[in-house]
Structure 1
Amino acid sequence: MTAEVDLNDLKRRMEGAINAFKHDIASLRTGRASSNLLDPVQVEAYGSRVPLNQVANITVPEPRMLGVSVWDKSMVGAVDRAIRESNLGLNPIIDGQNLRIPLPELNEERRKSLVKIAHDYAEKAKVAVRHVRRDGMDGLKKAEKDGVIGQDESRAQSDRVQKMTDDTISEVDRLLAEKEKEIMQV
């Protein structure tokens, strides 16, 4: 195992944390309907928890309305319950096998709570990046201890890992600032 391959793997894992963060903040509502809004919703179905999109189709028939067409009629109640309990502030209206979900105007309090959720997602992403950094540093220390690389090479690689970590965390902060501005825009 070369140290260069290790750095590429660390970079890939850090990018994975950024992609997961982007996915998380895309699901935060900013006042207009998006099918991504329901991505975090998990439904109790057939004895396990599954994502909503595995038991229903999600559509956006109007700018301030979501439509959910449940495939199995017996799952309508479970889908309704999952959406209500998802902490998204949504109240579905059951219409046969379909659910209509009107998106209320965001008030100041709700905007602030969404910003708080975005900050939680950002912190989760930063923790993931720091775990990747820790794994990289531990690998470098082990390689140095085993005599695979020298002390100078280990320090140089450690500096590169730290720079990758700093760059990734600043990218998370930039994305968070953009989302926060989007949420607070009236």
Structure 2
Amino acid sequence: MSGDINMKDLKRRMDGAVEALKKDFGGLRTGRASASLVDTIKVDAYGSVTPINQVATISVPEPRMITVQVWDKNLAPAVEKAIRNSPIGVNPVVEGAMMRIPIPPLNEERRAELAKAASGFAENARVAIRNVRRDGMESLKKAEKDGDIGEDEHKSRADEVQKLTDDAVASVDAALKHKQDEIMQV
């Protein structure tokens, strides 16, 4: 059928929005050390901007400590600068090519800011999901208008698209609640 919209593709795109949200949440500090906190940091290395995990080994030896072992000792100053200038708000302790990043506990004001940022990420994911839903609905309308599907099939397929949307938004809401609980945990 030429008017057939691909439900698997719509689901894949909605799932992609949820996965992107989870990746964004990984960069939000919760008071506990996590290697994903520094994953988004880019380092000016060898004349190009490179992700930190391509120039160093990142590990979490303690709940409130991240260590970064730079492979090339000459890049240590650039890595230190990138960490200091990053939005996560931490200061590394440099010991040669090894950097220790203590994660201080969050104060109540900072927790509220992070929870608000998490809400913003979640809303962006919901908008992306609704855009996918809109694309699906427009495909259905076009297929019906072109005579590829009937009105009854249009209705049942529209219900399927809405169910996919509801499921994806529920996933976003669950991920947001989990992240906010994690942020507010003292």
Q: Give the alignment's TM-score, normalised by structure 2.
A: 0.89
Q: 1:68 aligns to what SS in structure 2?
A: strand
CA contact (8 A) 2:3 2:148 kept: no
- In percent, how many aligned pairs have the same letter? 57
Q: Hey, what does 2:9 align to over in structure 1? A: 9
Q: Hey, what does 2:142 align to over in structure 1? A: 142
Q: Structure 1 residue 62: deviation in Å?
A: 2.0
Q: 1:170 aligns to what SS in structure 2?
A: helix
Q: Hey, what does 1:58 align to over in structure 2? A: 58
Q: Hey, what does 2:48 align to over in structure 1? A: 48
CA distance in 1, matches of 2:53, 2:175: 26
Q: Hey, what does 1:133 align to over in structure 2? A: 133
The two structures, once aligned, show a CA RMSD in angstroms of 1.9
Q: Structure 1 residue 158: deviation in Å?
A: 1.6
Q: Which amino acid aligns with 1:143?
A: A
Q: Structure 1 residues 65 and 161, CA, compared in 2 at 3 Å: closer, same or farther?
A: same
CA distance in 1, matches of 2:61, 2:136: 47
Q: Structure 1 residue 3: deviation in Å?
A: 6.5
CA distance in 1, matches of 2:178, 2:2: 38
Q: Hey, what does 2:28 align to over in structure 1? A: 28
Deviation string 1:153-179 (CA, Å, 9 cap, x unpaired) is 122212221221122112211211121
Q: Hey, what does 1:168 align to over in structure 2? A: 168
Structure 1 range deviating more: 44-53 or 9-18: 44-53
CA distance in 2, matches of 1:137, 1:77: 52
Q: 1:89 aligns to what SS in structure 2?
A: coil
CA distance in 2, matches of 1:45, 1:151: 58
CA distance in 1, matches of 2:176, 2:16: 16
* Structure 2 residue ranges without an equivalent (≥5): none
User: In the alignment, is residue 96 of structure 1 matched against residue 91 of structure 2?
Assistant: no
Q: Structure 1 residue 12: deviation in Å?
A: 1.6
Deviation string 1:114-157 (CA, Å, 9 cap, x unpaired) is 11221122122112212211221222222222221122212221
How many residues align structurally? 186
CA distance in 1, matches of 2:91, 2:158: 50
CA distance in 1, matches of 2:75, 2:146: 57
Q: Hey, what does 1:107 align to over in structure 2? A: 107
CA distance in 2, matches of 1:147, 1:3: 8
Deviation string 1:45-86 (CA, Å, 9 cap, x unpaired) is 334333211111001122211110112223222222222222
Q: Structure 1 residue 91: deviation in Å?
A: 0.9
Q: Hey, what does 1:116 align to over in structure 2? A: 116
CA contact (8 A) 2:93 2:100 kept: yes
